[in-house]
Amino acid sequence: MGLKIYLDGKLVEKADAVVSVFDHGLLYGDGVFEGIRSYDGLVFKLSEHLDRLYESSHTLRLVVPLKKEALQNAVIETLKANGLKDAYIRLVVTRGVGDLGLDPRKCAKATIFIITDKITLYPREYYEKGLTLATVPTVRNHPEALNPQLKTLNYLNNILAKIEATNAGVDEAILLNSQGYVTECTGENIFTVKGKTLCTPPAYVGILRGITRQSVMDIAGSMGYKVIEEPFTRHELYIAEEVFLTGTAAEIVPIAKIDNRVIGEGRPGPVTKKFMDEFHKLTSKEGVRYTL
């Protein structure tokens, strides 16, 4: 059985899952998306992901053709059609087909497609040894230009940073904002650990409010850690006892080295490992359950 894709209300074969070259999602990156995970028949934090999708689309004045419940059902339907209990879900809403101009009013109806498949963002050894990071020249989009809190199809800022990380021979890039404060990596939020305190950049410096980020903050609070959101520079990264990243695809991944500075002991620390364990427990509890 080939991979089935949800496209505008129908499940179609992968080869038939096509959008028009006049779709403004393709022409201009005009659209929104979510990356979601399912674990053993439970779509983790599905409601929270859908809320963020509708919030992003509202700011873009992009009308999602389906109500939240119907879109949730479409996600489940696509997973079932592909017989997947453990999957990565890519939910995309584009502005739809228009003309070659920018005007979104020329797009009569949004396009929706859902891909459910497997994903391995980092090899298992990275979780056992830690990633290497580098700060890169590309500056994070200014929130008043293209707000990183919107999860849009325009990811060139992230892609340029990823290219620079590759050129530098490291696993991932850290983007600073125009004031020199740490924001996030190309697809993950970032945390520092010092004693019983976790610190992560606040949304206003230019980050996406990650679903996994919030899960880790909740876990940390329940375990007696102090969690603060405040701006910090690379110096605070270098002197942290531990640094880790969070993201839907990455989950929680430890950091061994940043800008050629060894972080802590240069390997996954005990706090990071603790959060990794607790997060994996959470993925079997919070979300929408389905059966094949």
For the chain, which ranges sit under pLDDT 50? none
Distance from C-alpha of 184 to C-alpha of 253, rounded to nearest angstrom: 14
Q: What whole-number distance in Å separates Cα of residue 241 and Cα of residue 256?
A: 11
Distance CA 18, CA 157 (A): 26
* pLDDT computed for residue 120 by the predictor: 82
According to CATH, the topology of domain 124-282 is D-amino Acid Aminotransferase; Chain A, domain 2 (3.20.10)
pLDDT of 1: 67
Which of the 8 DSSP states describes residue 152? B
User: What pLDDT sits at residue 250?
Assistant: 95
Catalytic choice (4, 45, 151, 162): 151
pLDDT computed for residue 119 by the predictor: 83
Backbone angles phi, psi at 280, to 5 degrees: -65, -35
* Helix (H) / strand (E) containing 81: helix 68-81
| pLDDT tens-place string over residues 244-289 | 999 999 999 999 999 999 999 999 999 999 999 999 999 999 999 9
DSSP alpha helix (H) spans, 113-155? 124-129
Collapsing DSSP to helix, strand or coil, 100 comes out as coil
What CATH fold (topology level) applies to the domain 4-117?
A: D-amino Acid Aminotransferase; Chain A, domain 1 (3.30.470)
> 5-34: buried (b, 16+ CB within 10 Å) or exposed (e) per residue?
bbbeeebbeeeebebeeebbbbbbebbbbb
Q: Is 273 a catalytic residue?
A: no
- The domains of the chain are located at 4-117, 124-282
